[in-house]
Amino acid sequence: MPLLPLLALDRLGATLFERWGKLDMLVGNAGLLGVLTPLAHVDPKEWNRVMAVNVTANWRLIRSMDPLLRASGAGRVAFITSSVGHRAPMRAYWGPYAISKAAMEALARTYAVETAGTGTTVMVANPGALRTKMRAQAFP
C-alpha cells in the first residue's frame, strides 16, 4: 500500500473532528488476501502490502479515530476478521493473510482493553464465508 493512502487515514480524524466533533461507529473492513504461496516464497513487497492493508491501516484508523470515539461517549468499533487467523490446523500457503488477521485481532483486543471504562466498545466479527472477489480469488 502506498504511503499516501495511509497518510490520508491520519488526516481523516482531524477532518471528521472539524465537521462533527465525534464518531459514533468505526468499521475496519479492509482486507487483502495476497498471494497464496509457501512463506519462504513470499516476496517482501507482497508481505508488506498485505500487512499494510490488514494491520497497519487498522492501527492508523485507531490512532486517528480514538479521540473522536471517546468524545462520543458510546463509540462502537467493529473489526472484520476471518477464521483463517486462528484456525487450527492452519491453511498451508495462506501465511501473510492468516498472520495479518491474527495480528489485527490482537490489535483489536489490545484496543478493547485500553478503552475499557471509556464508553468505547470494541469487537471483532467474523461474518463467515461471503461471496466476494477475495473469496473467489482464494477458492476459484
Neighbours of 92 (CB within 10 A): 10
Q: Please identify which of the residues 79, 94, 97, 111 carries the catalytic annotation.
A: 97
Tell me whether the omega of the peptide bond preceding residue 140 falls within 30 degrees of 0, making it cis. no
For residue 67, give the 3-state DSSP assignment: helix
Contact indicator for 126, 82 with CB cutoff of 8 Å? yes
Q: CB neighbours of 138 closer than 8 A, spacing ≥ 6?
A: 33, 36
Contact indicator for 104, 53 with CB cutoff of 8 Å? no
101 phi, psi to nearest 5 deg: -70, -40
97 is catalytic: yes
- Positions annotated as catalytic residues are 97
